[in-house]
Structure 1
Amino acid sequence: MKKIVILTGAGISAESGLGTFRDEGGLWAQHRIEDVATPEGFARDPGLVHAFYNARRAQAARAHPNAAHEALARLEAEHPAEVVIVTQNVDGLHEAAGSKAVIHMHGQLSGALCAACEHRWDAPEAMQPGDPCPSCGTPATRPDIVWFGEMPYHMSAIWNHLREADLFAAIGTSGEVYPAAAFVQDADRHGAHTVELNLAPSSVISDFSEFHFGKATEVVPQWVENLLLG
């Protein structure tokens, strides 16, 4: 087995206490996606959006990597060829576990972005609508997060990695958000073996050639162990 490309979604961080879109009682359950995760929602009520992401940033700061994050860091460290993690998650748990080759296609809670000049900087603990950009001074500060209706980051590099992959794995993803839901088809088209590791079958389970179901903290470490043993 040579190059491994791994897509991770909210399911891998859920056991670290970070909720998914579908969790009852969590941050997402208190808001409509259209209000807090779209450019239109930000234009209507930037205060609400900043408050939502301030809460998510604080929640993520308290979270710790779990056994699934740690297993993927071990895979990167011990696998003799390249291992790339493409994550839909905006937390920093992969890096906290020790992974280095991580691509954040949906941005990061730790980042701030100027909507006027596109300058980026480290986000403070709390952001407000009137915060000026440190580069141009415009009060157009927003979280450096890819919202619904926006193009994910690093797509050219991601497609190249998928087309070079010998093994593609999707972990903790719903298979309902594009373009990530199409990654398995692209990897398969270019000859990769494809694996899904999930709590339950995703919407694109039929596109995978192998699958394992269960908690991420159980199935991912076992899968990594089997890979490293050959």
Structure 2
Amino acid sequence: MANSWLNAYVLHRRPYRETSFIVDFFTLELGRVSAVARGVRSAKSDRRSLLQPFQALRVQLSGKSDLKNLTQLESNGALRMLTGNALYCALYVNEITNRVLPGGVEAAELYSAYATALAALQPEQAAAEYILRQYELALLQELGVMPDFTTDAASNDPIEPTFHYELVPELGFCQVKQASKFSFSGTELLMLAEQDFSPPGLKAAKRLCRLALHPFVGDKPLKSRELFLASR
């Protein structure tokens, strides 16, 4: 790995000692990986400007522990200058990826979905909700927790549009006797199965993703969501 170039994006960076950063990268080849970028905070370093979110990079890492050393770094495309709603959406994508994706596991399909989401986000774009839901669903798929939207997991019967269902962890959607704030109508589940992202479908997808991702995200608030709410 020491001499191999990796395609990467910066998910997060934090100061380390006086002149360095610890950087969380999302790489095509290794998934999420953290590395020490030594000396990049010094006035003489010309690499600090590259270690920005939304900048496509090529990096070389070394080391046998989980925390690697960044040895080489170069740009792999123009920096995406995001503003407004697009910026908050992209920060959310970075934060949730860093929060829930296991380290050191290749996730090539999710990496592709990540790059697609960044490329699609534009300032004040009305389709931001669609872009975020598409990425969250790709994240559920990568984590192995995407439920079946067409079959009752308890009875193995087809989902009925007029029935109501709740998501049971590690099992799937099961019919319940009455609707609740945690339930989905059969119509909503079938919309998700057909990837119908009309306004009702997007609303159902948002509820599903928050519910299914919560065990991975935990109760700690997402800073990107707090920043977005504070800006409104």
Q: If the TM-score is normalised by the length of the shorter chain, which range does it land in?
A: under 0.3
TM, length-normalised to structure 1: 0.21
Q: Greater strand percent: which structure?
A: 2
Q: Decide which structure has the larger Cα Rg and report it.
A: 2
